A and B are shown apart, each in its own frame.
Chain A
């Protein structure tokens, strides 16, 4: 009985403590999923994609453009930055938007905002 309390009861109580302690831990903002890009003045350059897919693991993000190319980026606070893009992450988890600039394929920096079409498999 003592062994049971010690070896089963203690971990269960410990887990409850962990779940309570974990509530205060903040994770990076969720940006994984399919995004549609919108340009205020229309895409000024043919090399700029109309949509992209973000695969996120914590602060690390792999952005796949609709032509298959990938960009490695990193989330730092509410900023997503990588080679050829710098984006501000706005809104809450359910209604997040991206606002920033892209410079790809010889195109100069293009301002855009993006709306998430589907989160990464969350409702699968």
Chain B
């Protein structure tokens, strides 16, 4: 039964922890979201549950987590809509073969290395309830994801958004995101069809029909929202509510089809009109409550599922392997591809570092993987650790490879030459 007092207390504790740790991380030049992710882990069994098991058990009893999970899932649905909304296909145009090569390599290389790692980890961290194919494909897609929102925030904070490297990173991350989610959708279908008993033709045929309906049907009526916005520079509450209902309906459709409700929310965002003022308005409308209130709940829920150290001492070895492979595949692959495509070494390395940012998109994928049982609790914890390490290393590594003073000096030089 719902204990409202406990739920409200949990939310309050999570929000305070997220804001405090986020603030502290900002002080060491890390994005706020990195601190919020760490706050979630600190509230879980890896720290609070270990240091003060009594307080942890009283604050987060297992039975109460259902409600926290439900709230965080609602937050994720809105967040995935926002991520889709921020994706602009026109950003992909005009970068030529450099962007195509870099983005494809930044998926293929870590994907392949993830598969090789799966050969070693499958008998050690999985079980025969999951096929090797499902496990390896999931490892590959989890290794190849890039946190588009975190990356965009880091670029913005460093004033790199309009640089060649920045625009290239955003274009590549957008391709990675779309490809990653398509592959993940396939894996979810693969796993769920195996275990649900529902004919694969229903899920696959239904999914294709759904995507076609969204792209060629729903997408054509969405500009009506933008036209309404242009008339008054805002949308009425009723129209905003209609958009929310469309997002929820799309999420429910994909959940019913057996993919996952987050895919529906993401696709709905991706097909929304991309006029800058309209996108900014919707982002502002949806982002604040999601980012401030609901995402920290998701981080906390992820932290409560993360048990760093479960599975014995060998877990640390597996974690080290996963982290090295993830960095080699993503950072190394992107850097080499950019260099081969003609970018200077410094910019190539910076691009690789940016593409290596996995952030909360990785956590979203890992939670889906744990929910559908394609990864074990220990594998989940290892991958969460990898997500934290690869996100944490981005800012200091970028500053080391491409210092802000150097970038600003180059920018001043360009301006002087133009003048």
Residues of A within 8 A of B (CB): 3-4, 7-8, 11-12, 14-15, 18-19, 21-23, 25-32, 55-60, 62, 93, 119-124
Known: A11-B111, A12-B108, A22-B115; 15 extra A-B contacts, CB below 8 A, are A7-B336, A15-B108, A15-B112, A19-B137, A21-B119, A25-B122, A27-B126, A32-B129, A55-B377, A58-B376, A60-B378, A121-B371, A121-B372, A122-B129, A123-B192
Q: Which of B129, B195, B336 has the most CB of A within 10 A?
A: B129
Chain A residues with CB under 8 Å of B191's CB are: 122
Q: Given A7-B101, A25-B119, A121-B372, A30 and B312 touching (CB < 8 A)?
A: no
A67 to chain B, nearest CB (A): 13
- Whether B341 lies near A3 (C-beta < 8 A) is yes
B340 at the interface (CB under 8 A from A): yes
B276 at the interface (CB under 8 A from A): no
| Residue of chain A at shortest CB distance from B373 | A122
- Whether A27 lies near B127 (C-beta < 8 A) is yes
Chain A residues with CB under 8 Å of B373's CB are: 32, 119-122, 124
Using C-beta atoms within 8 Å of the partner chain, give the interface range for chain B. 35 or more
Q: How far is the CA of A59 from the CA of B124 in the complex (A)?
A: 7
Chain B residues with CB under 8 Å of A57's CB are: 125, 310-311, 376-379
Number of A-B contacts (CB under 8 A): 132
Chain B residues with CB under 8 Å of A4's CB are: 97, 100-101, 104
B140 at the interface (CB under 8 A from A): yes
- Whether A26 lies near B196 (C-beta < 8 A) is no
Q: How far is the CA of A28 from the CA of B121 in the complex (A)?
A: 12
Q: How far is the CA of A21 from the CA of B132 in the complex (A)?
A: 10
Over the window 362-399 of chain B, the binary record of Cβ atoms lying under 8 Å from chain A Cβ atoms (1 yes, 0 no) is: 00000000111100111100000000000000000000
Nearest 8 interchain pairs by C-beta = A30-B129, A57-B378, A11-B112, A122-B373, A22-B132, A57-B376, A30-B127, A18-B115
A69 to chain B, nearest CB (A): 13
Residues of B within 8 A of A (CB): 97, 100-101, 104-105, 108-109, 111-112, 115-116, 118-119, 122-130, 132-133, 136-137, 140, 191-192, 195-196, 310-312, 333, 336-337, 340-341, 370-373, 376-379
Chain A residues with CB under 8 Å of B112's CB are: 11-12, 14-15, 18
- Whether B133 lies near A58 (C-beta < 8 A) is no
Chain B residues with CB under 8 Å of A60's CB are: 310-312, 378
- Whether A124 lies near B372 (C-beta < 8 A) is yes
Chain A residues with CB under 8 Å of B111's CB are: 11, 15
CB < 8 Å neighbour of B196 from A21, A58, A121, A123: A123
15 A-B pairs with C-beta separation under 8 A: A3-B340, A7-B108, A8-B108, A11-B111, A15-B140, A22-B115, A22-B119, A29-B128, A57-B310, A57-B311, A57-B378, A58-B126, A58-B378, A93-B129, A123-B196
- Whether B196 lies near A14 (C-beta < 8 A) is no
Chain B residues with CB under 8 Å of A15's CB are: 108, 111-112, 115, 136, 140
CB < 8 Å neighbour of B310 from A7, A23, A25, A62: A62
B33 to chain A, nearest CB (A): 26
- Whether B105 lies near A8 (C-beta < 8 A) is yes
Chain A residues with CB under 8 Å of B130's CB are: 27, 30
- Whether A19 lies near B311 (C-beta < 8 A) is no
Q: How far is the CA of A12 from the CA of B378 in the complex (A)?
A: 28
Q: How far is the CA of A22 from the CA of B119 in the complex (A)?
A: 6
Chain A residues with CB under 8 Å of B100's CB are: 4
- Whether A23 lies near B125 (C-beta < 8 A) is no
Chain B residues with CB under 8 Å of A124's CB are: 371-373
Q: How far is the CA of A18 from the CA of B114 in the complex (A)?
A: 10
Q: How far is the CA of A14 from the CA of B108 in the complex (A)?
A: 10
- Whether A56 lies near B104 (C-beta < 8 A) is no
Q: Which of A4, A21, A62 has the most CB of B within 10 A?
A: A4
Chain B residues with CB under 8 Å of A30's CB are: 127-130
Q: How far is the CA of A19 from the CA of B136 in the complex (A)?
A: 7
| Residue of chain A at shortest CB distance from B370 | A121
B134 to chain A, nearest CB (A): 10
Q: Which of B108, B119, B127, B136 has the most CB of A within 10 A?
A: B127
Chain A residues with CB under 8 Å of B128's CB are: 26-30, 93
Q: Which of B108, B371, B372 has the most CB of A within 10 A?
A: B108
Q: Which of B100, B118, B126, B371 has the most CB of A within 10 A?
A: B126
- Whether B108 lies near A27 (C-beta < 8 A) is no
- Whether B133 lies near A28 (C-beta < 8 A) is no
Q: How far is the CA of A29 from the CA of B341 in the complex (A)?
A: 47
Chain B residues with CB under 8 Å of A58's CB are: 123-127, 311, 376, 378
Q: How far is the CA of A19 from the CA of B122 in the complex (A)?
A: 12
Q: How far is the CA of A3 from the CA of B109 in the complex (A)?
A: 13
